[in-house]
A and B are shown apart, each in its own frame.
Chain A
């Protein structure tokens, strides 16, 4: 018992002194940070990075907004970047401390939510598309019709991810509207289309890397990296980029206003913009990273993967989802609630 108490005391003390030199606290999505990357960083700089996991943007925002968490860096999704900036939770980056900042690919440098990348450094990005098992359907898969007007072969075999923004954006673009539209005519069509399609779906669920690989589901709205991993297990799985328009997403690293290890954080941010290091991030979670020149350091199977390297003809159909106005959010939620009944 005494040992236990003294062990506890030591642990209490040691964690309270945790912001000593050479430490960095990274608050990131679970299963998203390559341990090899952190080892390499520690070997080069002597800075030990501690990762704390979160499972949603909302959790991360709530904890950081409450304050006192002791985090230095956070990795929010695109639609949350503006929220963190507007609430003053993150600081503007001093670009003179980031010599590799120019490595950010042009496409991502000019992002609508952080033009010039003054607040954030890319971590990983991907797309939401439709995955199909070739043995079940051999027609055109680069269309949202796969789940909105399922071909007879796929009726009752389609899964739809329960992600409101992704699904509604796909449906809105399919009906010719813009994501976050407030046009009720378009939204009505979207609702009718979804309600009409729903009886032809098999499920609304996650976990498709497994289920598509196991042939349990023949088609699904899903994310490119997950489908890439499914294809490595089951070569019949193919990923389609809906030509009517599909959502792009990106998670990026931001420096918190109350960060204690600011110098260490800058070193880390610069470190992950070096192409071979960025490639290590991709090698682990299997998504592209937004750093020019990182492709050549990626694992062989990723260099040519059509799920990771977007074929030229489909690039223009990819759209970043803006942060919707409260009114558009309300419409989204209303349709989504009706759909989930």
Chain B
């Protein structure tokens, strides 16, 4: 640091603002976690430490079913989304720049731009027609919908990884008479793996969190954890919801930590 360039951290009040931002971000979450251990029935009055809400959430059939359903949907959707996203990323980066490339990017990332409610209403009407025509009301619709909006979340880290990998190893493999498939299987994919796993985790978490689209697409008996929680808090906020949120939060933090560790490697 020979010259004093512009740095945000030297602006007056930087630490005050930073602390305020972190308080605003994390204080509500901290409160939620603290009150999930409340022994009383209130979410506003502290009555002592207890695990009763975790026990009661665990004993609640509806919570268990909704959790299981959320995990099934998130697993299936993240697998589908990651597969599609990997192919899309290979198709858009492992070649010379082509005309309309930006358009393709925009189209793949469309679920990030279009307001969720618009997609939700469109899917409600579209799927309802299919549901009536075929009589099939299973989880397939939710998995399809979740896969669709998870694609960009899987696509972005995979593409970033691919753009950071140069062609030398692949060219070397081709020089040594590897077929294109062998090159992909033995060289490209292993190098790409951290990106793929990161993409899969991001899409898993995104699917697990979704409310709006799920609310509109779900059929009878298909509440996921977030839609179940949303319907609970309308009447009264109980600490059971806090307990479920805390578990969900824990799960998300674990996944994001793994994501961070995987993407940090070698950078």
**Residues of A bordering B, CB below 8 Å:** 1, 4, 7-8, 11-13, 15-16, 18, 25, 27, 29-32, 35, 50-56, 59, 62-63, 66-72, 207, 209-211, 213-214, 216, 226, 229, 233, 285
Contacts and interface: CB of A to CB of B under 8 A. Distances in A.
Contacts of B128: 66-69
Contacts of B143: 8
B172 to A, nearest CB: 31
B263 interface: no
B221 A16 contact: no
Contact of B220 (A11, A13, A25, A55): A25
A213 B220 contact: no
A206 B72 CA distance: 34
A69 B136 contact: no
B45 to A, nearest CB: 5
Contacts of A25: 220-221
B137 A18 contact: yes
A151 B83 CA distance: 65
Contacts of A31: 231-232, 234-236, 238
24 contacts: A8-B139, A11-B139, A15-B138, A30-B228, A30-B230, A30-B231, A30-B232, A31-B231, A31-B236, A35-B61, A53-B231, A55-B230, A62-B124, A66-B125, A67-B131, A70-B131, A70-B137, A207-B237, A211-B44, A213-B42, A213-B44, A214-B42, A226-B236, A233-B42
Residue with the highest number of chain A CB atoms closer than 10 Å, among B125, B231, B234: B231
B124 A229 contact: no
Interface in B54-83: 61-62, 72, 75-76, 79
Residue with the highest number of chain B CB atoms closer than 10 Å, among A7, A29, A66, A233: A66
A11 B131 contact: no
Given A30-B232, A68-B131, A68-B132, A15 B44 contact: no
B227 interface: yes
A69 B232 CA distance: 21
Interface in B114-151: 124-125, 127-132, 136-140, 143
Contact of A53 (B131, B228, B237): B228
Contact of A4 (B75, B132, B222, B231): B75
A31 B42 CA distance: 16
A50 B228 CA distance: 13
A285 B138 CA distance: 30
Nearest to A39: B61
A269 to B, nearest CB: 17
Contacts of A69: 128, 131, 137, 219-220
B215 interface: yes
Contacts of B218: 52
Given A30-B234, A233-B45, 15 more contacts: A11-B72, A31-B232, A31-B238, A52-B221, A53-B230, A56-B234, A67-B131, A68-B219, A70-B137, A70-B220, A207-B237, A210-B43, A210-B44, A210-B236, A214-B42
Nearest to A209: B236
Contact of B76 (A8, A62, A207): A8
Given A55-B231, A67-B128, A209-B236, A12 B139 contact: yes
Contacts of B62: 35, 51
The 5 A-B residue pairs whose C-beta atoms are closest, nearest first, are A30-B231, A68-B131, A53-B231, A66-B128, A25-B220
Contact of B235 (A13, A30, A62, A216): A30
A117 B132 CA distance: 29
B39 interface: no
Given A70-B137, A213-B45, A7 B221 contact: no
Contact of A15 (B76, B137, B231): B137
B235 A210 contact: no
Nearest to A53: B231
A12 B132 CA distance: 17
Interface string B192-220: 00000000000000000000000110111
B227 A15 contact: no
A12 B215 CA distance: 18
Contacts of A50: 220-221
Interface string B19-49: 0000000000000000000000111110000
Given A27-B220, A52-B218, A52-B220, A16 B227 contact: no
A62 B228 CA distance: 18
Contacts of B131: 67-70
Nearest to A27: B220
A16 B222 contact: no
B138 A52 contact: no
Contact of B222 (A1, A15, A54, A211): A15
Nearest to A51: B62
A226 B233 CA distance: 13
Nearest to B41: A233
A3 to B, nearest CB: 11
A73 to B, nearest CB: 10
